[in-house]
Amino acid sequence: MGKPKRKLTSAEKLVRKERRKQFMTVFVNGKKKRLRRPATIDGMEVDEFIRQNADAIWLHQNEMWELIITMP
pLDDT category of residue 65 using cuts at 50, 70 and 90: confident
Q: What is the pLDDT of residues 17-40, one digit of tens each?
A: 999 999 999 999 999 999 999 888
Mean pLDDT of 5-18: 95
Contacts of 42 (CB under 8 A, 6+ apart): 49
Q: What is the pLDDT of residue 72?
A: 58
Which residues 6+ apart lie within 8 Å of 68 measured at CB?
56, 59, 60
Q: Which residues contact 18 (CB under 8 A, 6 or more apart)?
A: none
pLDDT at 14: 97
**Residue 55, phi then psi, degrees to nearest 5:** -95, 170
User: What average pLDDT is seen over the chain?
Assistant: 89
